[in-house]
Amino acid sequence: MGSSPDWLRGMARQLPLNDQALEIVARRFAVLAEPMRLRLIQVLFEGERNVTELVAATGGTQANISRHLQTLIGAHVLARRKEGLQVFYRISDPTIAKLCALVCGSLEKTLARQAGSFGA
C-alpha cells in the first residue's frame, strides 16, 4: 500500500474531530453548497460590492441576494460596511479563497483525467 500524500498526513494530525467540531464543519460546507452563494463569493473575490452591484453581477433578485448575503454573514464568510445609505459586502474569511482554489484545482485535474481517458 502506498504512502499518503503530505496534505493527507497533515489532516490526520488534526483529526479526529469531536461531534461538535464536525457539526461546525458540516454547517460551513452547507453554507457553501448553494450555487448563488458561490456566485456572490466569486464576484466578491474582485473586491467589495454593494447589493445593487451584486444583483447586476449575478442576475439574482434583490430579495434573494439579500437573503444569501445574510446567510454568508451569519457564517462569518462575509462582512459588511455601511457608508451612508449603502451597505458594502466583502469576503472576511481569507480561507474561502484557498478552499475555492483547492476545490477548483481538484475538479480541473479530475476533468482533465476524464477527458484524457476518452482519447485512449
The CATH code of the domain that includes 61 is 1.10.10.10
Query: Domain range holding 28?
Result: 7-93
Residue 52: name the closest of 97, 99, 86 by CA: 86
The model's pTM: 0.77
**112 lies in some domain:** no
Per the document, the length of the chain is: 120
**75 lies in some domain:** yes
**20 lies in some domain:** yes
Query: Which residues of 7-101 form beta strands (DSSP E)?
Result: 49-50, 78-83, 86-91
The pLDDT score that the predictor gives to residue 16 is: 83
Per-residue pLDDT of the chain (120 residues; tens, 9 = 90+): 455 556 555 555 667 889 998 898 899 999 999 999 999 999 999 999 999 999 999 999 999 999 999 999 999 999 999 999 999 999 999 899 998 888 888 778 888 888 877 665
Give, rounded to a whole angstrom, the gap between the first and last alpha carbons of the chain: 27
The pLDDT score that the predictor gives to residue 1 is: 45
